[in-house]
Structure 1
Amino acid sequence: MVEPGASGPRNRHLAGRAAVPVADFEGEPGCRAQCPESGLDEIMDRVALGRLVTVVGSAATDRLPCEVSAVPVTDLPPTTLALCWLSRSSTPGLPALVGAAASGRPLTSVAA
């Protein structure tokens, strides 16, 4: 299970809070109810620049840049994170990723 967290620039007033309800960040400039269809790095860049406030899973908190703060959201339920891939995928790092996910161990590197 992944706990939701509101991600926003560290210099905004919500950054210092222990937790927030959705209503506290809905009116923030750049707030989006749905995460953009982009990679996490691009999303965090937009958050760091003050162009986006969105909810990310707690599993992403170790990848947040120093300019971004994540605050637990009190009124959103945890979600289940699922990995999906095409059965015909030949991505070299896929077996390591699947093995790490199945074992619960951290994945330190994946071959490109």
Structure 2
Amino acid sequence: MKAKRKSDGKVIEVKPQRFMEHNGSMYAPSDLDFNVEEAEEVTIDGWLTRSVSGNIVFSDSSECRKGNRVWYHKEGANVVDLDETGLFPNNLFPSLTWESNPLEVTITIKPKKK
């Protein structure tokens, strides 16, 4: 369940039975506003690299370096081989090659209009 923290306006995810944020923070019901509107769209910023085998790899961190056969990403970074998801074809961004620097991108997800 989403709620807005009255102290700073931040929207947080809480467990209704305890009013506990996922990180373990506890809140009294009087500290929360439960009238939270869902976002119209969500954006995810990150960087794309291309593997030596041609797959596109997404990372949420720009800190990466190229090894002999793979890109090494910052420890703790979220890294996804987009080919493995089946959602993105490898022919996207044909100018992005193994030799290229990471490409900064924004992925936007929004509900489809009816």
Length-normalised TM-score, structure 2: 0.21
Q: Quick one: higher RCO (CA 8 Å, sep 6+), 1 or 2?
A: 1
**Bigger strand share:** 2
**Bigger helix share:** 1
Larger Rg: 2
